[in-house]
A = this chain, B = another copy of it.
Amino acid sequence: MDAVNRQWLLRSRPIGMVKESDFELREAEIPSPADGEFLVKTSYLAFEPAMRGWMTDQESYIPPVALGEVMRGATVGEVIESNHPDFESGELVSTFDVGWQEYGVIGPGGMAPPIKVPEGVPPTIMLGVLGLTGLTAYFGLLDIGQPVSGDTVLVSGAAGATGSVAAQIAKLKGCRVVGIAGGPEKCAWLTDVAGLAGALDYKLGSVDTQIAESCPDGVNVFFDNVGGAILEAALNHLALNARIVICGGISAYNEATPPPGPSNLLNLAIQRGRMQGFIVTDFLPRFEDAATELAGWVMAGDIVYEEDIQTGFENAPKTFLRLFQGLNLGKQLLNISD
């Protein structure tokens, strides 16, 4: 065991683009698990755009991370000492209550229950397709988007961890799926590896025109991770009774002043559309069934996924920033095991 526990704390609330200096590296004592608790040594940190929102001092679906607190995030690690009857040393768990530190104690009363990594499953997948990321795609697409076989489904942020799973679930449901992503590499992955019907590169000219060309019958379901100009473009091409899933809005997360929204919301009336938001934890009672179904799709090769794995605990803030620089294809992870 190391002598110290390195932690990344939230030092300042970012205004505009999050900076590495908004975090502070500190050394602390390795905590000891009390009765009913266990100690986890972190192997992987996982990063999501939504974490940017937790850094802002604003009421939301979960409380903000306090200044001076360990940055919150999903992790996978190994139980190295346990005073909990259900967890043993050597077991791998995914957790939401350790965050950006090398060691953490899990006990009762955390934000989310720890989940054991099943035997034979690569642990990183518990942070991606089989974790909150995949579940977000699953419930957002199926329960909010309600795609029907034959629908045209448009996904923004389609080469990201959530978007890529949503897109492939839509394909499994018999939909014609078009993804929006940035750059030729991501777009090639969407069509050639994930097997989508089309991929639109938002860096190559008008997204509006590209949607018009690739979705001639309009968009039945738009699964949106981006917001802003891409949401506005999609709203111009709704099919009748279209459903718009508000999963995220990364285009605005690092803006000091929230940018204006789409000017064409009245298209919701003209096309009888529905725009709806959700938070994945609303579906907690169905997590296990959904994860089982997702695991089946992954094992059958029907859902493929990518991981962008950086290394070194000292690189946590830098790795987080990759999300907003559009550098990650698939799930953004940081390997901090030896």
Residue A148 CB within 8 A of the other chain: no
Residue A60 CB within 8 A of the other chain: yes
> Contact: B265 with A246, CB < 8 Å?
yes
Residue A271 CB within 8 A of the other chain: yes
> Contact: B274 with A263, CB < 8 Å?
no
Category for how many chain A residues contact B? 20 to 34
Complex partner residue of A276 from B246, B247, B263, B275, CB under 8 angstroms: B275
A232 proximity list for chain B (CB < 8 A):
261
A261 proximity list for chain B (CB < 8 A):
232, 260-265
Contact stretch, chosen from A12-20, A151-159, A277-285: A277-285
> Contact: B249 with A265, CB < 8 Å?
yes
A259 proximity list for chain B (CB < 8 A):
263
Q: A275-B275, A276-B275 are in contact. Are A258 and B263 (CB under 8 A)?
A: yes
Complex partner residue of A279 from B263, B269, B277, CB under 8 angstroms: B269
Q: State A266–B271 Cα separation when bound (angstroms).
A: 21
Copies per assembly: 2
1/0 per residue, CB under 8 A from B, across A321-335: the answer is 000000000000000
1/0 per residue, CB under 8 A from B, across A107-122: the answer is 0000000000000000
Q: State A232–B308 Cα separation when bound (angstroms).
A: 37
Where the two chains meet, the residues of A that have a C-beta atom closer than 8 Å to any C-beta of B are: 60-61, 227, 231-232, 246-249, 252, 258-279, 282
Q: A260-B260, A261-B260, A261-B261 are in contact. Are A270 and B279 (CB under 8 A)?
A: yes
> Contact: A278 with B272, CB < 8 Å?
yes
* Whole-angstrom distance between the Cβ of A268 and the nearest chain B Cβ: 3
> Contact: A268 with B263, CB < 8 Å?
no
A246 proximity list for chain B (CB < 8 A):
265-266, 268-269
Q: State A264–B279 Cα separation when bound (angstroms).
A: 16
> Contact: A276 with B279, CB < 8 Å?
no
- Considering the complex, give the chain B residue whose CB is closest to the CB of A244: B275
Q: A260-B260, A260-B261 are in contact. Are A266 and B252 (CB under 8 A)?
A: yes
* Whole-angstrom distance between the Cβ of A278 and the nearest chain B Cβ: 6
